[in-house]
Amino acid sequence: MSTATLTAPEDRGQTPVTSPKRKKPGRVRTVAWHAVILAFIAVLLYPIAWLLGASFKPANEVITSLALLPESPTWQNFVDAVAGIGGTSFGTFLYNSLFIAGGSVIGNVVSCVLAAYAFARLRFKLSKLMFGFMLMTLMLPHHVVLIPQYIIFQNMGMVDTFWPLILPKFLATEAFFVFLMIQFMRGLPRELDEAATIDGCGPLRLFYYIILPLARPALITTAIFTFIWTWNDFFSQLIYLSSPSNYTLPLALRLFIDQTSVSAYGPMFAMSVLTLVPIALFFFAFQRYLVQGLATSGLKG
């Protein structure tokens, strides 16, 4: 690979120019670009539109009709969804989900970035072995470790609390994110370390002042994914939470559908839509931080 191109530039003072080669795309091209993308998005979002449509369909229509739009739209599904389940309110489910997802975000970002820094930038004994083990934890289907893990939490008296869902995140058990951050940190120029070392920076200050700010896209990515994946996680919440007052939105969602009783598809769709709102907002709020990459985030700061 042409590494020459990569290490060549030294003229950092130059103001960033956006893609100088393609100066200003013509107006026609821009319009065409937008049109193509919008068409693509329309297809992509059709299923979500369908979900939205279904949430306004009355009970008999929701099962038999395959149409996108409801024939006689109704708010009733949302009223039922917000009414809660078996005496537990929608607000409780929402609060529990927010609490677990929020706690997980903090835990994952903090613990994974620490582990990743060690793996990516420090030299230490057993690093290969540990890294290999970490990858192995990703490869074993979690269904077979579920019961032993349950027993551990049971022994710690943590079953039916939020701890089994949040504590692992603080202990960097999500190898996905550790690995993700390792890859990002390894991409950061080594010259930084050397410059910092010359300035008398130890590994601690190097981490805090150089790596941490530069790894921000990876941190944001981790935060976004952790929030959304925890929010949607069903199985571990099902296993560890048994009191209805601890239930989360995914658990509540499933309670609308039961093969052995009358299912309520309409409210289920409505709750699906409501459940989407917080994560959509979360994503929308955080995605813009992805824009700020290395170029703007103070290399020379």
Partner 1 sequence: MVAQQVNEVASPQPGRTGSGRARKGSKSKEQTGIAYLFLSPWIAGAVLLTIGPMVASLYLSFTDYNLFTAPEWVGLDNYIRLFTQDDRFMSSVGVTFQYVFLSAPLKLAAALGVALLLNRPRKGQGFYRSAFYAPSLLGASVGIALVWRSLFTDDGAVDSLLSSVGINTGGWINQPDYAMYVIVILAVWQFGAPMVIFLAGLKQIPQDLYDAAAVDGASTWKTFTSVTLPMLSPVIFFNLVMEIIQSFQSFTGAFVVSNGQGGPADSTLFYTLYLYQRGFQDFQMGYASAMAWLLLLTIALFTGLVFKTSGRWVFYAGEDK
Partner 2 sequence: MGAQRRSPLQRGRSVLALAMVAGLVTACGGAGGGDADGQVELRFTWWGSDDRAEITEEAIALFEERNPNITVNTSYAAFSGYFERLATEVAGNNAPDVIQMDYAYLREYGDRGVLADLHEFDEDQLGTEGITPLLARSGEIDGRMYALPMAQNTHAWAYDEQAWTESGVPLPEAGWTWEDLLSSSQALTESTDGERYGTTDFGWSWETFQVWLRQQDKDLYTDAGEIDFDREDLTTYLELLEEFRTTEAATPANITSEIDGAVENSPLARGSAFADFTWDSTAVSFSSVLPDGVGLAPMPRIEGSDRVGQFAKPGMLISIAANSEHPEESAALVDFLLNDVDAGLILGTSRGMPVNNDVREAVGAELEGPDQLVYDYEEALADELEEPPSAPPPGNSALKREWQRLNSVIGFGQLSIDDAVDQFLERAEQEL
Helix axes 127-139, 175-187, angle to 10 degrees: 130
CB of 73 to partner 1, least distance (A): 17
Q: Are 230 and 103 spatial neighbours (Cβ–Cβ below 8 Å)? A: no
Q: Are 220 and 237 spatial neighbours (Cβ–Cβ below 8 Å)? A: no
Write out the residues near partner 2 by the rule CB under 8 A. Answer: 59-60, 63-64, 85-87, 146-148, 150-152, 154-157, 159, 234-235, 238-239, 242-244, 251, 254-265, 267
Q: Are 103 and 248 spatial neighbours (Cβ–Cβ below 8 Å)? A: no
Q: Which of partner 1, partner 2, none is residue 98 near (CB under 5 to 8 Å by kind)?
A: none
Report the C-alpha gap between 289 and 138 in whole angstroms: 28
CB of 92 to partner 1, least distance (A): 19
- Which residue do the tokens 């065409």 mark? 32
Q: Other CB atoms closer than 10 Å to residue 113's CB: what's the count?
A: 22
Q: Which of 86, 87, 148, 200 binds partner 1 (CB under 8 A)?
A: 148
Q: Which of partner 1, partner 2, none is residue 59 near (CB under 5 to 8 Å by kind)?
A: partner 2
Q: Which of partner 1, partner 2, none is residue 251 near (CB under 5 to 8 Å by kind)?
A: partner 2
Q: Are 93 and 248 spatial neighbours (Cβ–Cβ below 8 Å)? A: yes
- Which residue do the tokens 């309110």 mark? 89
Q: Which of 76, 88, 137, 161 binds partner 1 (CB under 8 A)?
A: 137
40-79 residues near partner 1, rule: CB under 8 A: 41, 44-48, 50-51, 54, 66, 68
Partners of 88 in beta bridges = 85
149-208 residues near partner 1, rule: CB under 8 A: 149, 152, 167-168, 170-173, 176, 178-180, 183-190, 193-194, 202-204, 207
CB of 125 to partner 2, least distance (A): 22
- To 10 degrees, the CA torsion angle through 174, 180, 184, 190? 60
Q: Which of 24, 27, 143, 300 binds partner 1 (CB under 8 A)?
A: 143
CB of 179 to partner 1, least distance (A): 6
- Which residue do the tokens 């959304």 mark? 228
CB of 115 to partner 2, least distance (A): 20
CB of 112 to partner 1, least distance (A): 8
Residue whose CB is less far from partner 2, 80 or 174: 80
**Residue 259 CA: distances (Å) to CA of 64, 83, 262, 272:** 17, 22, 8, 19
